[in-house]
Amino acid sequence: MSAILSVQGLSVHFPTRQGVVRAVEDVSFDIDAGETLALVGESGSGKSTVAAAIMRIIPSPPGIIAAGRIEFEGRDLVKLPENEMRRVRGSRIAMIFQDPMMALNPVHTIGAQIVEALTLHTNLTRRQALGRAVELLELVRVPAPATRVGQYPHNLSGGMRQRVMIAMALACDPRLLIADEPTTALDVTIQAQVLELIGELKAKLGMAVLLITHDLGVVGETADRVVVMYAGRKVEEGRVEEVFRAPLHPYTRGLMRVSDFEGGTGQAMPEIPGTVPSPFEMPSGCAFSARCEVAVEACGATRPVLVVRGPARSAACLLLDEGRR
């Protein structure tokens, strides 16, 4: 299967007065059609910046795509002129955000907002577009869609708003859906509904999904492959089952131990000591070395390169073999 999106050597920099923040540095990955790739990392790991770079919505200044290619349907999105990018954005690639209240316009009905997306990218008339909007709301299982199209975002619950945003994203039948923390703002029972919905729609419409999340539980239950990011770099990649069964990078191992912890009140939770280094004080070696339980002296000085271990399986750690126990 050929990749629908191929990101190669992507670097996104934010030059500031205190120095250049390398939010994303030399990140590469592919997504196949019909596949869900999860981009996992904590705050500051650069995962959302990758998504914004693909959509070309990084404000410039301050941000610049310093290097790399983003190939989508045979074109390099990095070099695409803005007017052509506008035809891709929202139509071929759609995006849903963490907070649907922020992403929806409070003074327009949800019908009007879906119709706007449709009339911008298709030849439908307003009347046809409104009919399609009702169909889309039905697709994302919003109850009473014919009534809901006339309502405003504040009339809806958080879960409903997220469904509306998904409906809007699907309006033009995108090949790639970027979901940036789509369920973080929702309650767990509603989160379960939305994750099921995204999975079903992916299967039904055959689109690829780039899922950005910090929650390994969500990754484990929805993604096919996973890319783990730390301090702007890719530290590990692989099929979800493999990464979860035998994580290669000490950071991934630490995250897994925290997520899988099943001990009781008497036991301490496994923790990763310390915090992510400041973007202005990145060590010259491995960015994780200061927090790493297996780090040796060389880790602070030498930056590890990605070592390929099998098909679509790689990790960046100097101690790839010693570290495994």
Q: What are the residues binding another protein (CB under 8 A)?
A: 42-43, 157-160, 187-193, 195-196, 214-222, 240-241, 244-245, 254-256, 258-273, 275-276, 291
For the chain, the maximum distance between any two Cα atoms, rounded to a whole number of angstroms, is 67
Q: How far is the CB of 44 from another protein (least distance, A)?
A: 9
Q: How far is the CB of 8 from another protein (least distance, A)?
A: 27
Give the C-alpha separation, 134 to 136, whole Å: 5
The pair phi, psi for residue 106, each rounded to 5°, is: -70, -20
Q: How far is the CB of 52 from another protein (least distance, A)?
A: 20
Q: How far is the CB of 265 from another protein (least distance, A)?
A: 6
The residue (of 90 and 238) whose beta carbon lies closer to another protein is 238
The residue (of 43 and 83) whose beta carbon lies closer to another protein is 43
The residue (of 63 and 254) whose beta carbon lies closer to another protein is 254
Burial of 224 (C-beta count, 10 Å sphere; 0-12/13-18/19+):
middle
Q: How far is the CB of 110 from another protein (least distance, A)?
A: 16
> What's the order of all strands across the beta sheet hosting 3-16?
19-32, 3-16, 64-72, 75-76
Residue pair 114/167 in contact (Cβ under 8 Å)? The answer is yes
Q: How far is the CB of 260 from another protein (least distance, A)?
A: 5
The residue (of 107 and 188) whose beta carbon lies closer to another protein is 188
Q: How far is the CB of 298 from another protein (least distance, A)?
A: 23
The pair phi, psi for residue 229, each rounded to 5°, is: -115, 145
The residue (of 233 and 291) whose beta carbon lies closer to another protein is 291
Q: How far is the CB of 219 from another protein (least distance, A)?
A: 7
The residue (of 116 and 236) whose beta carbon lies closer to another protein is 236
Q: How far is the CB of 226 from another protein (least distance, A)?
A: 9
Residue pair 194/97 in contact (Cβ under 8 Å)? The answer is no
The residue (of 171 and 185) whose beta carbon lies closer to another protein is 185
CA dihedral 115, 119, 122, 128 (to 10 degrees): 60
The residue (of 70 and 235) whose beta carbon lies closer to another protein is 235
The residue (of 135 and 187) whose beta carbon lies closer to another protein is 187
Nearest to 54 by CA among 42, 67, 69, 44: 69
Tokens 């496994």 -> residue: 270
DSSP 54-84: HHT---TTT-EEEEEEEEETTEETTTS-HHH
Give the C-alpha separation, 121 to 180, whole Å: 23
Beta partners for 72?
5, 75
Give the C-alpha separation, 291 to 301, whole Å: 14
Give the C-alpha separation, 219 to 225, whole Å: 9
